[in-house]
Amino acid sequence: MDLVTPGIGLIFWQTITFLIVLFLLSKFAWKPIMSSLRERESSIENALSMAEKAKLEMQELKAGNEKLLAEARAERDRILKDASAASNQMIEEAKAKAADESARMVAAAREAVANEKRAALTEIKNLAGSLSVEIAEQLLKRELSDATAQKQLVNDYMKEVTLN
């Protein structure tokens, strides 16, 4: 049973050894261990605070990026609106210019048609006059071929003409 229950001497020497080890640990090891634990704790706190600062900076950068994106989108929309307005203006100007040009061409065509019509009428009048003269000449030649017909024609004209 001696093996199961320790003796008083053994307990005494274990207590003395424990106290010596406790004294040595508190004298030489406890302070460096505690200081290294404090250093570790402060480095962890610093790392956490730096991580928090980095997180805040990332949020600020993200907000800045979102703001820049919003500005870029607004600028893009403005540029597209300006380009659309310029395009519409150019189209309207081109339509107006085309309308003016077509009106000018129609007016020129009408004037050309009118000139051609006048020229054609003049030519027709001249042709009608020539034909009338030729027909009259042919008729006069045929009717005035004998002397009695000539006298009869002169008498008829004399009757028509009244002298006052």
- pLDDT 10s digits, 80-138: 999 999 999 999 999 999 999 999 999 999 999 999 999 999 998 888 888 888 877 77
* Residue 3 pLDDT grade (very low, low, confident, very high; cuts 50, 70, 90): low
Is the Cα torsion angle 95, 96, 97, 99 positive or negative in sign? positive
| Domain contains 68 | yes
Nearest to 150 by CA among 162, 160, 141: 141
Least confident of 20-34, 51-65, 124-138: 124-138
Residues 6+ apart with CB under 8 A from 153: 143, 144
Q: Can you list the alpha helix ranges (DSSP code H) found in 144-164? A: 147-160
Instruction: Report pTM.
Output: 0.41
In a domain? residue 160: no
C-alpha to C-alpha distance for 23 and 30, rounded to whole angstroms: 9
Q: What's the average model confidence in pLDDT over 146-153?
A: 76
Give the pLDDT band (50/70/90) at residue 150: confident
Query: How high is the pLDDT of residue 164?
Result: 47
Residue 1, domain member (yes or no): no
Query: What is the rounded distance in angstroms from the CA atom of residue 123 to the CA atom of residue 131?
Result: 12
Q: For residue 164, is it within any domain?
A: no
At residue 83, the pLDDT reads 94
What is the number of structural domains in the chain?
1
Q: What does the alpha-carbon distance between residue 129 and residue 139 come to, in Å, rounded to a whole number?
A: 15
Domain-embedded: residue 54: yes
69 SS3 class: helix
Q: Pick the residue with more confidence: 164 or 14?
A: 14
Expressed as residue numbers, the domain containing 25 is: 8-154
Q: Is residue 163 assigned to a domain?
A: no
